[in-house]
Structure 1
Amino acid sequence: MTANEMSQPARELQAPDTTDQQRILRHARAAVLKRFAVRGGIGAVAFLVQPLTGVTYLIPLTVAAAAYFMFELVRFLSGLIWARLSGRVLREYRLEMWPRVIEREKGWILHGTVFLLSARGPEGKAPRMRAIDAVDSGDWPASAVDGVWVAGDPLFGGVMIVPGTDRILFMQPSKWNEMAAERKQAGAERIAKAKRARIDSRWPRKSAAY
C-alpha cells in the first residue's frame, strides 16, 4: 500500500458490504415514509377541516388539500419504486469506486431532486449522468468530488452511494435516447444483467428537461 493510500480514510478503501447496503436502503425507505406521513398527514387534516366545520368558504381549502395529498401520495409511491430499483441494482452489481464526480446542474422533478453530473469511472470518463435523490436530502455533497461508490453499468445506469453519508441516488445517462445504439451493442451478458436490475429502460420515463 502506498503512502497516499494509507492517508485515505478507511471508508474510501472499503465498499459498503451487504449489511451496510441494506441499512442504507432501510434509511432511505424510512425517510420516504416519514416525509409522506408528515406532508400527507397535513393534507389529510386540511381536507377534513371544511367537512367537520361546515364552513362553506373553506371549500377551496378542501380542494387544495385534496390536490396536495394526491401530489404527496404520488411522490411517496415514486419513492418506493426508487428504493426498489436501487435494491435490485445492488443485488446485481458490485460497488466500485468512481474517483471523481462533479455536480454540473441541479433541478427538481416530481420524483425528487435531480443532479446532472460529470463523472470519471474506473475505466475513464463516464457519460454525463442524471442522478435522482428521492429523499430530497439537500445539496450535492462536496465530498463526492473525491469519489463515490457506484453499482451498475455506465451505459444503463445504477446506484451511487456517497461515502460517509448513507446517501444513495439512482442514476442513469442523461442522454438516454442518444445512447440507445451503444446499449444495443453492449453484449448479451451486459444487457441481460441490466434487465435483471431493471435499468434497461429509463426511469422515470418522462421528466421534463431532466
Structure 2
Amino acid sequence: MTVPERWKDGLESDTPPAPYATDGTDFRGAVRYHYRAALKKFLKFFPVFLLLWVQLFVFHIAYLLPVAIVGMLGVVWTLFLLAGRLSQTRKCSKVFQTYPLEFRTPVEKIGMESTHTLYLRLGDQVGTPFTLCAKDALGRGRWPVGITDGVWFAGDEPFGGAIIVPGSGELLFLQPRDWAATNEDRANAGPERTEKAGRAGIKRPARR
C-alpha cells in the first residue's frame, strides 16, 4: 500500500546520531553496529515469547494453551525479523566490500510504501535518473533525517547498491524500482560491471 503523498516528506525516523563515523570512512563500523542492533532487538523479545511457549510443556496446565500459542507465534515472528535484518545488513556489507563509497547529493524523495519501502533518486546521475527502492537494514519504514542533503553511496545504479546516511548512520539496500525497465541498462553495462555486480550480490533482483 502506498503512503499518502502528503505524508511522503513528513515521516522521518527518530534515530539518534550514530556511535560510529558516518563520513564514508568506516562502513565496517556501520555494519557491525547493525548486526549488534539486530541481535539486541531479537533478544529483547525472543526469551519472553519462548518462556510463554515452553511453560505449557513444563506445567502441563490446559488453560495455558492460549498463552503458549501466543508464545509460539512470537518465537516464529522474532526469528523471522532477525533473519530479515541480518540478511539486509549482509547485503549492504557485500556491496560496501565491492564498491567504493562516494558522496551523492541531493537525494530526491519519490515516495514510500507501508511495506517499509522507500523510493528515491540519487543526485549526479547522468542521463535518465534511476528511481531506486530502498530497504532499511533494521526494517525501519521512515525517511532517515537529513537524507535529502546527501548520502554515501556504493554500487552501480542499474543494478543497485547500498547507502550510509550521514549523521544517523542508517544503512539502506537499494535496487531499481522497476527491474525489468532497466534491463537494457544492465545489458549495456559490459562484462566488467556485470561481474562486479555479481560479486556484490546485486546482479539479480533481491527478494523484497
TM-score by length of 2: 0.81
Q: Cα distance, 1:108 vs. partner?
A: 4.7
Equivalent position of 1:69 in the other structure: 75
For 1:1-210, what aligned pairs fall within 5 Å after superposition?
15-17=23-25, 20-109=26-115, 113-123=116-126, 126-137=129-140, 139-204=142-207, 207=208
- The AA in structure 2 aligned to 1:26 is R
Q: After superposition, give the CA deviation of every residue in 1:27-74 in whole Å (9 maximum; x if it has no partner).
A: 111111111111222221221232233331221322232122112212
Residues 107 and 39 of structure 1, relative CA distance in 2, 3 Å threshold: farther
Report the secondary structure of 1:103's partner residue. Answer: strand
Higher strand share: 1
The alpha-carbon distance between structure 1 residues 59 and 80, as it changes in their structure 2 partners (threshold 3 A), is: same
* Residue in 1 that maps onto 2:11: none
The alpha carbon displacement at 1:137 in A equals: 4.4
Secondary structure in 2 aligned to 1:102?
strand
- Which structure 1 residue ranges, 5 or more long, are not aligned? 1-13
In structure 2, relative to structure 1, the CA distance for the partners of 1:128 and 1:122 (3 Å cut) is closer
SS at match of 1:151: strand
- CA drift at 1:153: 0.4
Give the whole-Å Cα distance in 2 for the aligned partners of 1:107 and 1:57.
40
CA-based RMSD of the aligned residues comes to: 2.1
Shift of 1:94: 0.9
CA deviations 1:98-139 (Å, max 9, x no partner) are 212233333354xxx321223323536631111111313462
Give the direction of change, closer, same or farther, for the CA distance of 1:15–1:94 in structure 2 (3 Å limit): farther
Distance 1:44 1:79 in 2: 20
Q: 1:54 to 1:107 in 2, by over 3 A?
A: farther
TM-score by length of 1: 0.80
What is the deviation of 1:147? 0.8
Structure number with the higher helix fraction is 1
Number of residue-to-residue matches in the alignment = 187
Greater relative contact order, per chain length (Cα 8 Å cut-off, separation 6+): 2
Aligned residue identity for 1:49:
Q
